[in-house]
C-alpha cells in the first residue's frame, strides 16, 4: 500500500548550500559551543528567517553541491516554532501583491498542494538565506572599533547586533 504524501511544511530535510553553508559554518559548529553563536543549527535557521523578514531581504539559493543538512529528526522537535515563523512570513510578506485578507488566509490555511508547500518553503528559505547573510556580516565579518564597550570581538559583535537599527528599529 502506497504511503500518502502529507501536504505540510518542514516535512523534509532542509539543505543550506554554497556560500550560505560556508557562512553557517562560521557561525555554528556541531557540539562546539566556543565556535558557535547558536547552540543548534535549527536555531540559526529559524532566527535567520525572522531576521531576513525583519530587514525585508530575500536571497537566491546558491546551488553549489557543497551543503549543510538539517535532518528531519531535528526539524520534528522544532516544527511548531518553525510553523509559527512560517505563518508570520506568509502574513507579512507582500512580495506577491496579495491583499491583506488573502495573506491572512494564506497564513492560516493549510497548504492544499505539494506545489504550494514548495513555493512557500522557498519563500521561507529565501528570507532565511538573507538572514544568514546579515548575521554573518554582523557576527563574523564585523570588526571591533574603539567605540565598542567589549574588547572580545564575539561579545562586541553580539552586542552590536542587538543594537542594530535594522533589527530593533529607531
Cell output for 138: 554582523
Chain segment 15-47, per-residue pLDDT in tens: 999 999 999 999 998 888 878 899 999 999 999
Contacts of 142 (CB under 8 A, 6+ apart): 157, 160
Whose CA is closest to 102, among 94, 125, 118?
A: 94
Cell output for 59: 536571497
Name the H helices within 28-164: 41-55, 72-76, 79-92, 100-108, 114-136, 153-162
Phi, psi torsion values for 43, nearest 5 degrees: -65, -45
Q: What's the pLDDT band for 152 if we cut at 50, 70, 90?
A: low
Looking at residue 5, the DSSP 8-state letter turns out to be P
- Give the residue extent of every domain in the chain: 14-132
Chain segment 97-141, per-residue pLDDT in tens: 999 999 999 999 999 999 999 999 999 999 999 999 999 998 888
Residue 150 has pLDDT above 60, yes or no: yes
Residue 51 to residue 32: CA distance in whole angstroms: 24
Chain segment 39-58, per-residue pLDDT in tens: 999 999 999 999 999 999 99
Average pLDDT over all residues of the chain: 88
Q: What's the pLDDT band for 159 if we cut at 50, 70, 90?
A: confident
Residue 17 to residue 146: CA distance in whole angstroms: 36
Q: Which residues of 138-150 are buried (b: 16+ CB within 10 A; e: fewer)?
A: bbeebebeeebee
Percent of the chain whose pLDDT exceeds 90: 69
Residue 54 to residue 97: CA distance in whole angstroms: 18
The reported pTM is: 0.87
Amino acid at each position: 500500500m502506497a504511503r500518502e504524501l502529507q501536504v505540510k511544511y518542514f516535512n523534509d530535510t532542509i539543505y543550506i548550500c554554497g556560500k550560505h553553508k560556508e557562512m553557517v559554518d562560521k557561525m555554528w559548529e556541531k557540539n562546539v559551543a566556543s565556535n558557535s553563536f547558536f547552540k543548534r543549527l535549527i536555531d540559526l535557521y529559524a532566527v535567520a528567517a525572522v531576521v531576513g523578514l525583519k530587514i525585508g531581504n530575500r536571497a537566491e539559493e546558491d546551488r553549489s553541491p557543497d551543503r549543510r543538512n538539517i535532518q528531519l529528526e531535528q526539524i520534528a522537535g522544532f516544527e511548531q516554532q518553525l510553523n509559527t515563523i512560517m505563518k508570520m512570513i506568509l502574513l507579512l510578506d507582500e512580495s506577491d501583491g496579495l491583499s491583506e485578507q488573502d495573506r491572512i488566509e494564506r497564513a492560516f490555511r493549510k497548504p492544499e498542494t505539494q506545489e504550494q508547500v514548495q513555493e512557500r518553503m522557498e519563500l521561507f528559505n529565501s528570507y532565511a538565506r538573507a538572514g544568514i547573510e546579515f548575521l554573518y556580516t554582523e557576527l563574523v565579518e564585523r570588526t571591533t572599533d574603539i567605540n565598542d564597550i567589549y574588547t572580545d570581538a564575539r561579545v562586541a559583535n553580539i552586542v552590536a547586533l542587538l543594537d542594530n537599527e535594522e533589527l530593533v528599529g529607531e
